[in-house]
Amino acid sequence: MADVKDILVPDIGDFESVEVIEIMVSPGDTISVEDPLVSLESDKAAMEIPSPQAGTIKELKVSIGDTVSQGDLLVTMEVSETATESAPAAKAEAPEQPAPATPAEPEKPAASAPAPASAHRPPPVAPTPVDEIGFRKAHASPAVRKFARELGADLGQISGSGNKGRILKEDITAFVKKVMTSAAAGGGLGVAPMPEIDFSQFGDIESQALTKINRLTGQFLHRNWVTVPHVTQFDEADITELEAFRKQLNEEHKNEGARVTVLAFLMKALVSALKEYPRFNSSLDATGENLILKKYIHIGVAVDTPDGLVVPVFRDCDRKSLIELANELIEVSGKARDKKLSPADMSGGCISISSLGGIGGTAFTPIVNAPEVAVLGVSRAQMKPVYKDGKFEPRLVLPLSLSYDHRVIDGADGARFTSFLSKVLSDTRRLLL
């Protein structure tokens, strides 16, 4: 006959009100003595509570986030009369101690089954040995540690999405998936892993978690940096007349609160350039063998926000006036800084602009926002002596830095594209053509 037993929190030492961070069982599960029931975490240690009985879980009496102390009810369990074994109390594991489950063999990288060398296969992923110090210091429950060891995943390399940055099982699955995907896409570079360095040995330090935007942007930029063969073409545009016109426009529209910056002119100039050079308005398809030419003109603009870089997309720029684009720039960059952009607001771009002109600099090499094939970087305009009609004249000169995907764009076209932009920006009447 089955008996229903209450399973309580056993003696967990001096700990009181400890948080339940993981529940390893569900009603209906048949478990053996010592199978883990829940993980608890105090300020100092994470510990698993093993089952003192074999039986079938009837009801969970705690949820994740609850706090419990010795004697609190965790689960009820149907126990058969013959099941009389009992288990020891909780196994506490301080985070800085090695996890108990140490495999006989040293850990292997998650996706490292090295394929035989073949001209047609991507290179194997570089082995990334598990770093024991990083692994031990990582914030994760014993069950998650065990899971990571089973998969050979290095906890030190995984960011946790749980409470206070705790690494969850899902984070490990996502990490392993990423490594596998990168291997399948030929992303393994065969380079040595970055060594873990304790910088505090050199002086005072502070560790700051990257924001979600930083992490996501970092992943995309890294992918684009290593998969797109970049070339950056530099050029300059004489925007002396454009600047005079811009100031005049701002004066004329000041009552409507309009603020036209160089950026709106650049968007207009890009529209003309994309019409003239449609190959810049394209993407390679997934096979890399076809070019998808786009008949619409949506332009992404990099916006610097306190949480990191975002690239909202301005749709149908070819159908909008300069003032409309200027107003939209103000509205959308405000929305970006208030974290109000949706994923849809940031998708569908044909080409991007990264303008650092409001800040400074003379030139830089922007990273292509793939699958787009080009990105226009803009630095600060400066008054420069320009030799014209036999004499030097002070002119306002805008530096342009166009990075492009050399699989799609040839160097000659890169130079043609920036020359065209320069011509259009130097003579805004051409924007009408």
Q: Are 427 and 419 contacting, i.e. CB atoms less than 8 angstroms apart?
A: no
Residue of 139, 230, 253, 406 marked active site:
406
Which of 50, 300 has the CB closer to ligand CAO? 300
Examine residue 224 and tell whether it contacts ligand CAO (CB under 6 A): no
- Integer-rounded Cα Rg, in Å, for the chain is 30
Which of 76, 261 has the CB closer to ligand CAO? 261
Which of 36, 312 has the CB closer to ligand CAO? 312
Least CB distance to ligand CAO at residue 383 (A): 11
Q: Are 377 and 400 contacting, i.e. CB atoms less than 8 angstroms apart?
A: yes
Least CB distance to ligand CAO at residue 430 (A): 19
CA distances from 167 to 131, 140, 160, 350, 400 (A): 16, 5, 4, 37, 43
Least CB distance to ligand CAO at residue 267 (A): 10
Examine residue 301 and tell whether it contacts ligand CAO (CB under 6 A): yes
- Please, which of residues 257-296 interact with ligand CAO by CB under 6 A? 261-263
Burial class, 152, CB count within 10 angstroms (exposed 0-12 / middle 13-18 / buried 19+): buried
Q: Are 44 and 64 contacting, i.e. CB atoms less than 8 angstroms apart?
A: no
Q: Is 406 a catalytic residue?
A: yes
- x/- string (CB under 6 A) for ligand CAO, residues 332-371? -x--------------------xxxxx-------x-----
Least CB distance to ligand CAO at residue 215 (A): 15
Least CB distance to ligand CAO at residue 280 (A): 19
CA distances from 13 to 18, 26, 36, 45 (A): 11, 26, 18, 11
Examine residue 302 and tell whether it contacts ligand CAO (CB under 6 A): yes
- Please, which of residues 396-425 interact with ligand CAO by CB under 6 A? 398
Per-residue tokens: 379:
């630095």
CA distances from 76 to 7, 63, 66, 330 (A): 6, 14, 17, 59
Which of 121, 215 has the CB closer to ligand CAO? 215
Q: What angle do CA 153, 158, 163 make, to 5 degrees?
A: 125
Least CB distance to ligand CAO at residue 254 (A): 12
In the three-class reduction of DSSP (H, G, I as helix; E, B as strand; rest coil), residue 37 is classed as: strand
Examine residue 380 and tell whether it contacts ligand CAO (CB under 6 A): yes
Examine residue 317 and tell whether it contacts ligand CAO (CB under 6 A): no
Amino acid at position 346, single letter: M
Q: For residues 44 and 132, give the distance between their C-alpha atoms in angstroms, rounded to a whole number.
A: 19
Least CB distance to ligand CAO at residue 331 (A): 11
Q: Are 430 and 423 contacting, i.e. CB atoms less than 8 angstroms apart?
A: yes
Examine residue 309 and tell whether it contacts ligand CAO (CB under 6 A): yes
Per-residue tokens: 109:
């990288």
Which of 230, 380 has the CB closer to ligand CAO? 380
In the three-class reduction of DSSP (H, G, I as helix; E, B as strand; rest coil), residue 250 is classed as: helix
Q: For residues 29 and 77, give the distance between their C-alpha atoms in angstroms, rounded to a whole number.
A: 10
Examine residue 232 and tell whether it contacts ligand CAO (CB under 6 A): no
Q: For residues 39 and 288, give the distance between their C-alpha atoms in angstroms, rounded to a whole number.
A: 47
Examine residue 128 and tell whether it contacts ligand CAO (CB under 6 A): no
Examine residue 381 and tell whether it contacts ligand CAO (CB under 6 A): yes
Which of 109, 357 has the CB closer to ligand CAO? 357
Q: Which residues are catalytic?
A: 406
The residue ranges that bind ligand CAO (CB under 6 A) are 261-263, 301-304, 309, 329, 333, 354-358, 366, 378, 380-381, 398
